[in-house]
Structures are given as structure tokens and as C-alpha cells.
Structure 1
Amino acid sequence: LGRYQEAIAFHQQSLEIARDIGDRQVEANSLGNLGVAYDSLGRYQEAIAFHQQSLEIARDIGDRRGEATSLNNLGNAYNALGRYQEAIAFHQQSLEIARDIGDRQVEANSLGSLGSVYNALGRYQEAIAFYQQSLEIAQDIGDRRGEANSLNNLGSAYYSLGRYQEAIAFHQQSLEIARDIGDRRGEANSLNNLGSAYYSLGRYQEAIAFYQQSLEIARDIGNRQVEATSLNNLGNAYNALGRYQEAIAFYQQSLEIAQDIGDRRGEATSLNNLGNAYNALGRYQEGFAASQQAIEIYQELNLPLDAYPIPNWLKKLVKFSERGKLHLMLCFVGGLVAFPLVLIGEVLLILYRLVVRQIKG
């Protein structure tokens, strides 16, 4: 339901009882569940600490399935932090154990997780190969929810490749299964992803329709995480339409939910989007303040450069400058040349907006 603080409270109670009666299996399960909850809140370091404890107990009591699950969960947390090689190592270990003990469900989960890491690395063909394997297992064992998730992931990979029609086809299949099995959260996620595909095609009204459906479901089932995502996506669509005040209203609502449920990464995303919308309106002071808050949160979460919502060209530039003093000097000289040109462009843009306002007035 996205009510993570309540979930944490229950898992904490379960953990205390398990430790009190000496049930290590339940203790490991409770620790793993706490890790998943903190992961959902974007509090990845805390999630990792819980998953590590769960992993140690699983190994100590010889629970190989629990060991594989903890390894997979650790991989998911490291993936969210942008520490992709470590994530791959955890997922590979999880996959090996799953195959060794013949647990096809955990095998499918590990393959899907590996796909997500390769997707984040921009290695989309490899991601697709992992998602396809995960899909085949889910279909083979009759796991319809897993099948829907794999189809949704495949849609995301094709979306990343810019193959939006194929992405739409996969998300549509995922949506149909979610509706058939009554998985309303899965339905909302598929609708959100469909909206993103149509958004990328420049079909903003259709995107808005999908986002609105996702938002309605999220509110109906009480899932605040999906609600915040839908609101943020609606903000992006209205921002693309140049309807900045409406975009800001959606970003503000998304921000309030993220703050309320303690989702620091979601909070940073909403602040970053707010900053862009304020800048588009010429409200540069508010834009700078929002963007600065977002940066502070990203630094607090100790996220690597790859996890920052900045253009890829800027990430490459930063990485280039980190290669040595010569590279840093070249970037500095390039910045000195480019800065006056950017400044002139900004001044011209401000003058243009002032002229337009005068004409409209």
C-alpha cells in the first residue's frame, strides 16, 4: 500500500519477538522485510545494513533460499545507489544458488534484477536477454505476476532504446495480465510506463490520460509511492506542454507525499523538477533554491554521479575532468570560453520573455 512507516513498525515488532524467542529464521525474514521497506523509502544504506544481517543469519542456519534472496535484495540496493558492478556480483551469486537448489522463482527474480542493472548501465540488449529468460521461467512455472513484471521490464528496456512502439506493446501485455489477476499496483505501474512511452512520442494528452488512470488507482489502493510517481509524471507532461503553473502544482503534491513517507530520493526528484519549472517561468531564485535542495539530498544519500538526474553529456564531462590534471585544465579552459556564450544566451532569453509579456500586456 506504500505505507512504509507502518510496515516498518510491524516488521520491527516481528523482529523483537523473533529475537526474544530465539527464532533465527523469522529474525532473518524480518530483517529482510525491513531492508525492503527502507529500500522503498530510498534509504539504501539502512536497507543494506538490514539485508547484510539477514544474509549472515541465512548462511549461519543453512537457509540457501534465504541466502539467495538476501543477496538479490542487496544487489537491488546497490543498483539503486549506482554501484552497478557490486550489484551484478550480488545478483550473480543469488542466481548461482537459485540454480544450484533448483528454485526457479528465485532464479527468475535474480535474472530480472540482473536485467535491471544492465538496463541502468545502458547495456540494453543484455538487459533484454535477462528479462527474456526471467519471462520464460515465469511463464513456465505459471507465475503470472512475474510474467507481468518481466513484460513491464522488457517494455522499459525497449523504451530506453527509443523503440517506443515495441515498449508500448510490452506494457500493454503487462497491463492486461495485471488487470486479469487483479494486481492493481501492477496495473498502475503499467499505466505509468505507457504514459512515459506516449510522452516520449510527444503525444502528451494520451500520456496525461494514462498518468491520470494510474493516479486514480494509486489513490484508490492507498499506495502513496505510486501516487507520488504519477503526480510527478503528470508534472512532466504539463511542463512539456508549457503549462508550467499546472506542472508546479503536480510537482508540489508529489514533493509533499515524498516528504510525508520519508522517500528522500523521490523528494529530490520532485525538487529537481520544480527547479526546472521555476526556471522556465523565469523565477530563477526559486528554481535555484529547489535545485540546491535536491543536490543536498543527493549528497546526503551518498549517491554516485550516475544516479544524479543531470544530462548524460554533463556526467561524461565530469568523468572526463576526473581523469587527471590535464583533463581538468581542458574542462576549465572550455568553461571559460563557453561561459560568456551561455550568459549571452540567458540574457537574450530573459529579454525575449520580457518582450512577450509586454506584448501580451
Structure 2
Amino acid sequence: MNDAMKNQARSHLILLLILLIPFLLGAQSVREDSLLHILPRQKTDSLRIITLNELFKISYSNDPISARAYATQGLKLARQTGQRELISRMCNNLGVLESEGGNYKESLRYHKEALSIREADKDSANITGSLLNMGNVYYKLGDYERAIQNYMVCTKLYSARRDTAGFLWSVGNIGTIYNEQGKFTEALKVYLHVLNFQEKIDDRINLAGMEFNVGNVYLQMEMFEDAVGFMNRALKNYQKENDLFGLIDVLQSLGEIRREMKEPEEARAFFEKALSIADSVSDQYGQATCSMSLSSLAADEGDYEKALRLLNQALHGYQNMGRKKGEAEALCHIGWVLLAQGKFQKSLSPLKRSLILAKELKTIGLERDNYELLAEAEDSLGN
């Protein structure tokens, strides 16, 4: 199987959510129904907004529809009362949620509004959070230069405040850029460094994401035993937190490992489970990556028409989200399948489009795959 038919799972960026308000509700394990009981009894708008913020955080990873409703209600109330700091909080939350759902323009709009308020109010602690989250959106849009610029600013700001956790978030996200560019050795070095510190400071919130990232790099380096070990660690932690977005990614990656190990039925079970969860939370990116993975299985089995159907679903999903990296990968895969069918002329268009995007994104591995496949197509046409 050509390297072009290997799927890269998304690396986990650190998404900075609003921190808990300790004087209000205590631990985040407070049940959602208890908060809903408290909400109408809060005596001030500020307390109602903060309660909605807590409801958002509890429901964010496992019930994004409810999370959106809580954040939208909180933002509306904050605007009505003119509470700028709370407006920025809710904009931040909606920005993170829109980013997870693949709505990147909306995400940037919310984050820019939050940043504008925080800069005007000289809210230095939360300015860094906005810059980090905006960097994450730029990363997802394939604008790695702007993403790294944001992350570098964040590392300086966090370092100046001696905020170890924040510094690690920023450095870890730079590692994710390396990963996307195919610089796996550099990415692994960064991830393991961050993971080591996260374990030392007991950063349980972000530990699973970094375990996933390490496993993902090992997968791409074809070190499957190490990949499975870290993926299983991440899986246990995501299950503990009932983090559905995290579960989608881990299950999809475990499926990729099984596919590489020539265990198609086990791979299919992982992919279909991941897709089921992605459908349940309307995770466009998860749906697209699972379609890509299932298309690879179909191609392995010689069912090229099914593979193309799934690839076109993934392609449309990536295009709708503005995910250039995913679009480039889907086009490359489409070109490969057309080559496998002997449709050499038809393969040229998607491969050339993929190559243009790969050059723009500076993804060396994908560029190489496209050049190799284009050469194969052109040689076949020449014959």
C-alpha cells in the first residue's frame, strides 16, 4: 500500500477553556442537574452567567449541543448587562466549541471579540488564552505560520508569568505543527518533554491529549507496539472523563494501527465506533477522518467505487470546514484510487490539486506522495 493511503489522525491541541470560579461551585464534578436546579435561583445576572459557564464546561466534551445552548444563553445575558469580562468568557467558550465543530470562521470571530475586550481591559492572563486558541484555529486552517507566531508569543507570556502549565500548552502545540509537517522526530521530542512535565505537575486535564499525540507520532513512524501503548493510556483517560471528542480520535487511530497490522475486521470495528460517536456529536472533522479510514479499508479490499464514494464524502467535509490539510490528503487518496483502477488521466487532476495544497502547507511527506503518484500516472499514459 502506497504511503499516500495512510491516514494521519489529528493531533490534540490544548484548547484553553475558562477556569473554574472557586468561590461559586467548587469541583467540576458537580452534576449538571444540580447546576440546572441552582440556575434560576441565582440572585444576580453575574451568578447566572457564571453558572451557565460551569454548565458549558461540564457538557462541552460529551454534549456539545447543550454546551452551545448554555454558552449562547450566557453570552446573551452578558451582553444585556454589559459585563465585558463575562462577555469575553462566553465568546471564548463559543470560539472553542465552534472550532471543535469545524466552524472556523465563526470560531475566529468569537475569539477576536474576546481578545479585543481583554486587550482593551488589559486582562493579561486571558489575553494569552485567546492568542493560544486563535493559534489553534489557524493551525486547523493550515495557516501554520500564523499559528506558530501565536504560540511563540504565548510561550513568552507564559514564561514571563512563570506559568508552567501554560508554557507547556504552547510548546506542545508547536510540536503539533512539526507533526503536521512530517517532522516526526522533532514532534516526538517535544511531546515527550511536555508529557514528562505534565506527569510531574499532575496535569490530568491535558495528559490524555499528549498521550494521544505521542501515540499518533509512533503510529506514523510505524512503531505500532509503542503506538498502541500510548493510545490505550489515552483511551482510559478519555473514558474516565467521558470526553467524546478524544474518544473519536483514539478509536480512529487504534483502527489505523489495526489496519496497518493487517487486521481489517478489528480496524473496521474501531472506525465504525468512532464514526458513530462523531455522528452523535456532529463532529465534522471526526466524520471526515473516519470516512477516510473506511475508504482505505475499502481500497485494501479492492472495492474502489466504495472507496471513492467515502473519499468524496471526506473531501466535501474538509472543504466545508476549510481544512486544507484534510482536503489535500483526500485528493491524494482519490488520485491513488483512480490510479489503482487504471484511470490514469482522471487521476492527474486530484493529484495536481493535492500537490498545490501540500506545497502551500509545506507538508513534505504529502508532496513526495503526490510527486510519486503523478510520475506513475504520467509514465502509464506515456506507455
Give the TM-score, by structure 2 length. 0.66
The alignment-based identity, stated in percent, is 26
Letter in 1 for 2:367: P
Give runs of aligned pairs for residues 7-46 of structure 1, distance below 5 A.
14-15=74-75, 17-40=77-100, 42=102, 44=104
Give runs of aligned pairs for residues 241-320 of structure 1, distance below 5 A.
241-254=301-314, 262-265=320-323, 270=330, 273-274=333-334, 276-282=336-342, 304-306=360-362, 310-312=366-368
Residues 1:309 and 1:77: Cα distance change in structure 2 (over 3 Å): farther
Residues 1:182 and 2:249 aligned together: no
Correspondence for 1:84 among 117, 135, 144? 144
Following the alignment from structure 1 to structure 2, what is the Cα–Cα distance between the partners of residues 42 and 218?
12
Residues 1:191 and 1:113: Cα distance change in structure 2 (over 3 Å): same
Gaps of 5+ in 1: 318-337, 349-361
Structure 1 stretches of 4+ moved >6 Å: 1-10, 288-292
Residues 1:205 and 1:39: Cα distance change in structure 2 (over 3 Å): same
Q: Give the alignment's Cα RMSD to 1 decimal.
A: 4.1
Following the alignment from structure 1 to structure 2, what is the Cα–Cα distance between the partners of residues 243 and 15?
49
Following the alignment from structure 2 to structure 1, what is the Cα–Cα distance between the partners of residues 92 and 216?
27
Correspondence for 2:206 among 146, 153, 163? 146
Give the TM-score, by structure 1 length. 0.70
Following the alignment from structure 2 to structure 1, what is the Cα–Cα distance between the partners of residues 138 and 318?
21
Greater RCO structure (CA 8 Å; 6+ sep): 2
Residues 1:217 and 2:277 aligned together: yes
Partner of 1:74: 134
Following the alignment from structure 2 to structure 1, what is the Cα–Cα distance between the partners of residues 297 and 90?
40
Following the alignment from structure 1 to structure 2, what is the Cα–Cα distance between the partners of residues 201 and 144?
31
Partner of 1:156: 216
Following the alignment from structure 1 to structure 2, what is the Cα–Cα distance between the partners of residues 222 and 47?
16
Residues 1:9 and 1:107: Cα distance change in structure 2 (over 3 Å): same
Correspondence for 2:114 among 54, 60, 77? 54
The alpha carbon displacement at 1:150 in A equals 0.6
Correspondence for 2:381 among 334, 346, 357? 346
Following the alignment from structure 1 to structure 2, what is the Cα–Cα distance between the partners of residues 227 and 4?
15
Task: Compare the two structures and name the one with the higher helix fraction.
Answer: 1
Partner of 2:176: 116
Contact 1:152–1:171 at 8 Å: present in 2 too? yes
Residues 1:5 and 1:281: Cα distance change in structure 2 (over 3 Å): farther
Letter in 2 for 1:114: I
Residues 1:27 and 1:284: Cα distance change in structure 2 (over 3 Å): farther
Residues 1:115 and 1:267: Cα distance change in structure 2 (over 3 Å): closer
Partner of 1:311: helix, strand, or coil? helix
Could you list the per-position Cα deviations for residues 26-76 of structure 1 after superposition, in whole angstroms to 9, with x for gaps in the alignment? 222333344434544556566445434422322222323311111112222
